[in-house]
Homo-oligomer: A and B are copies of this chain.
Amino acid sequence: MKAITRIEQSLAMALASAEDASCPPKLASAVRHAVFPGGARIRPQLCLAVAQACGQDDPALSDAAAVAIELLHCASLVHDDLPCFDDAPTRRGRASVHWAFGQPLAVLAGDALIVLAFQTLAAAAGQSPARLPGLLKIIAGGVGMPGGIVAGQAWESESRVSLMQYQRAKTGALFVAATCAGALSAGADPSQWQALGDCLGEAYQVADDIRDVMGQADLLGKPVGQDAQHARPNAIANLGLSGAIEHFESLIQAAADSIPEGPAAQAMRDLVWQESERLVPRAACNAYREAASQSPQTAPASPTVGA
């Protein structure tokens, strides 16, 4: 079965396990709206790819780890879209949860998704219970205090923040959780897979910054120009677009280089390059570089992705 199919099925099962006749129907609908249809599901795919590279002796636990990470990611999107943060009317190309269901249900849907993530993990620990405490620690660490995605979002409320600390918490932490949880769910040493999550997480955040100024809302799945509008720390403000593209490419290379040798190493490297191309198409970068070299003073601020 393809990884994406496994992920969608496991997500559907997790949601179904939390719904019954006693559940408030609008809450159940808001939670579904937050999870389906999904985006690229990159975090759970990464989790399963690492689990597979590590031998994957307990597929149900690996699935649960992947699902937990995606549910926590969905929860963060729902809360980050709220009027007190981004006030985003759209997400993944359609209405954000608070836009469709109102703020109270958006707050509660996010809360319910966080709880469901841990419920899902606990329910799947039957075969390998000794791995549960470590998995909880890894996954909760990617979300909570001091350095998870909640802390990352909270840095936006501080007057002083380093770009690296902000990005590591806001995005990197859950990527690290994805690779490390994938390894531990298969009984492998998570520390060997931390660098992959770290590099990919930062690459993903830099790509998000690049696309935010490149101005393609359809690729981003949400409104563009948000970083500047909300005065958020971002790679473009620090490095310029050209520097950000270079930084992105070096992070992808470091991610590929970090993959431990083994029978599945080449497949993992292919996945990294494939994801890189999806995030920031090489053609767009080359077009930008060409324009910049011809006229350094008037390099386009917003080249078109895919041009």
Contacts and interface: CB of A to CB of B under 8 A. Distances in A.
A230 B109 CA distance: 21
A144 B115 contact: yes
A22 B150 contact: no
B129 A18 contact: no
A84 B26 CA distance: 16
Nearest to A110: B111
Interface string A31-56: 10000000000000000000000000
A121 B165 CA distance: 27
A126 B133 contact: yes
Given A26-B154, A27-B157, A132 B122 contact: yes
B108 A24 contact: no
A286 to B, nearest CB: 37
A10 interface: no
Interface in A79-123: 79, 82, 84-85, 101-105, 107-108, 110-112, 114-116, 118-119, 121-123
Nearest to A107: B79
Interface string A150-171: 1101111110010001000100
A129 B126 contact: no
A231 interface: no
A146 interface: yes
A119 B133 CA distance: 9
Contacts of A105: 154, 157
A231 to B, nearest CB: 14
Contacts of A141: 119
Interface of A is mostly: helix
A150 B115 contact: yes
Given A133-B129, A154-B105, A157-B102, A112 B24 contact: no
Interface string A19-31: 1101111111001
Given A79-B107, A104-B156, A132-B133, 9 more contacts: A18-B144, A22-B147, A105-B154, A108-B154, A115-B150, A119-B137, A119-B141, A129-B129, A129-B132
Interface of A: 18-20, 22-28, 31, 75, 79, 82, 84-85, 101-105, 107-108, 110-112, 114-116, 118-119, 121-123, 125-126, 129-130, 132-133, 136-137, 140-141, 143-148, 150-151, 153-158, 161, 165, 169
24 contacts: A19-B145, A22-B146, A22-B169, A23-B145, A23-B151, A24-B155, A25-B158, A26-B154, A27-B145, A84-B107, A104-B153, A105-B157, A108-B154, A111-B114, A111-B150, A112-B154, A115-B144, A115-B145, A115-B150, A116-B140, A118-B118, A123-B133, A126-B133, A129-B130
